[in-house]
Amino acid sequence: MPIAPRSMRSRTIPLMSAALALAAATTAAPAAAAPAAVSAGATLAAPTPAATPDIPNSPVGEQLRWLLAAAAALPIPEDQIRAHFSTGFLTQVPPAQLNEALKSLGGLRLESLTQVTPTALSGVVTTAQGRLQLSMSVDGDGRIDTLLFGLEQREAPRSWAELDKRLRALAPRVGFLAAEVRGDGRCRPVHAVAPTTPRPLGSMFKLYVLGATAEQVKKGRLSWDTSLTIRPELKSLPSGTLQDRPDNSTVSVREAAKLMISISDNTGADLLIDKVGRARVEAQMGRWSGHAALNRPFLTTRELFLLKGADYPRLAKKYLSLDRSGRSRYLSATVARTPLTEVEPWSKPRDLDRLEWFASPEDVCRAFSGLSALNTPPLSEVMSANDAGLGLDPKAWPTVWYKGGSEPGVLAMGFLARDAGGRTYVVTVLTSDPRTPLDETTAAPELLALARGSFAMLARV
């Protein structure tokens, strides 16, 4: 199945939300068309086969046994899916989407079980994407209500010196900030590496789109219930699902925002940019970033796909040769008239220093802090829908927000977490290589480990 360019992909894929997160999903080389739940990127070395562990004769064990068999004979008939999954789960993940996700995993083989109760279990499965953590739970009727696949956790660093060493081993260009967000909204650095240097963000730019949207809601110019029309010219490529909805159907601002953050829905982002206005998103970035000029005009995801994937490098070279006003005219006169069907795959970095969205670790901290200060419902619901598999103890850290981004040569992750005592911290990691694509199968779990260790060290400050 063709896979959309991972330029816009967030670190987790999401078939969706709290019900299902596929955290190994962004390892794909780009392609031009429809979405895939998990991409077929670099193949991991197959582990030595081991004896299949015993599956308990319990409600969750019975469902796991069924899932392993069903995943070997795809597609699963819809009536079977509805018999084995809860209504709440299928509201978030329709049967067709679930089949697509399981297909993209390339098979499931249970390797081990680590925690087991009658209604929940976790363990490790082997897939075509490599070894993944599996978590499953069932509801009171014995139907699956949670299904999570994520990268195996790595050991977190225990000192800032260890973190620095591991961070610099990931990519030639790195930026890092672990900071406390003070009561006045300022970010007080605790540890940093090149915190003021702008780096490419990938989909992390969507923090600024969400901020501009929330500002308009706060001013009464927009409502979370406002309907957005999914016009054909506003549709983008995956990640996301809104591009698959019928032309001229509608979605609320609230749903578009949640999809934009939780599964990095690109069409959702472009719909919000269109509704709020490019100028207001640029103004929002100006308030929260010291490098807003690098993002003018503020590109939509569709525009970036076309500039990097359609007749490359002709469109990109012409665009980059123009001044700001010339670029704006070129976007509306030429790029907007180029069909998405002309986007072709790319797997190597393209113009990372000039054609992307940019911010420094300090800028990203200001964006998280600014969103927290807005305190406009449903911001917390939107931002906490996906933690990328960070795995902080929810008792110690009841609030965790996440946004990340990647494309060939870029991997970025940003987290805000509030501890049980009400203290708020932000950890941002930006990595890039303008010449060689990063191996996300190894880099992503390492970034998660660095972030997890950072919050542990921040808690001791």
Q: Tens digits of per-residue pLDDT, 248-299?
A: 999 999 999 999 998 899 999 999 999 999 999 999 999 999 999 999 999 9
pTM surpassing 0.95? no
The pLDDT of residue 20 is 35
Closest CA relative to residue 393, chosen from 418, 362, 368, 361? 418
Per-residue pLDDT of the chain (461 residues; tens, 9 = 90+): 222 343 333 333 332 222 333 332 332 222 223 222 222 223 333 334 445 788 999 999 999 999 999 999 999 999 999 999 999 899 878 898 899 889 888 889 999 998 899 999 988 899 887 788 888 999 999 999 999 887 777 899 999 999 999 999 999 999 999 999 999 999 999 999 999 999 999 999 999 999 999 999 999 999 999 999 999 999 999 888 899 899 999 999 999 999 999 889 999 999 999 999 999 999 999 999 999 999 999 999 999 999 999 999 999 999 999 999 999 999 999 999 999 999 998 999 999 999 999 999 999 999 999 999 998 889 999 999 888 888 899 999 999 999 999 999 999 999 999 999 999 999 999 999 999 999 887 899 899 999 999 999 999 98
Which candidate, 332, 386, 348, places its Cα nearest to that of 203?
A: 386
H or E segment to which residue 444 belongs? helix 440-459
Non-local (6+) Cβ contacts of 249 within 8 A are: 229, 230
With beta carbons less than 8 A apart as the criterion, state whether 365 and 428 touch: yes
Concatenate the DSSP letters of all residues of 165-181 into one string: HHHHTT-SEEEEEEEEE
Q: Which of 360, 415, 426 is nearest to 187 (CA)?
A: 426
**How many angstroms separate the CA atoms of 258 and 268, rounded?**
9
Q: Measure CA 403 to chain center.
A: 6
* Cα–Cα distance list, 250 to 255, 268, 279, 379, 401 (Å): 10, 11, 23, 21, 27
Do the Cβ atoms of 345 and 30 come closer than 8 Å? yes
Place of tokens 């207001």: 280
Q: How far is CA 407 from CA 187, 391, 419, in A?
A: 27, 24, 32
CA 165, CA 169: separation in Å to the nearest integer?
6
Q: How many CB atoms lie within 10 A of CB 366?
A: 24
Burial class (CB in 10 A: 0-12, 13-18, 19+), 238: buried
430 close to 207: Cβ distance less than 8 angstroms? no
The string of pLDDT tens digits covering residues 148-192 is 887 777 899 999 999 999 999 999 999 999 999 999 999 999 999
- Tell me the H-state helices in 241-323: 253-262, 266-276, 278-288, 301-309, 314-320
Dmax (CA) of the chain: 67
Three-state SS for 123?
strand
| Distance, CA of 74 to CA of 99 (rounded, Å) | 7
Q: Which of 42, 33, 22 has its CA nearest to residue 103?
A: 22
Q: What residues have CB less than 8 Å from 380, skipping those under 6 apart? A: 399, 401
Measured CA to CA in angstroms, residue 25 lies from 39, 83, 108, 458 at distances of: 5, 27, 15, 29
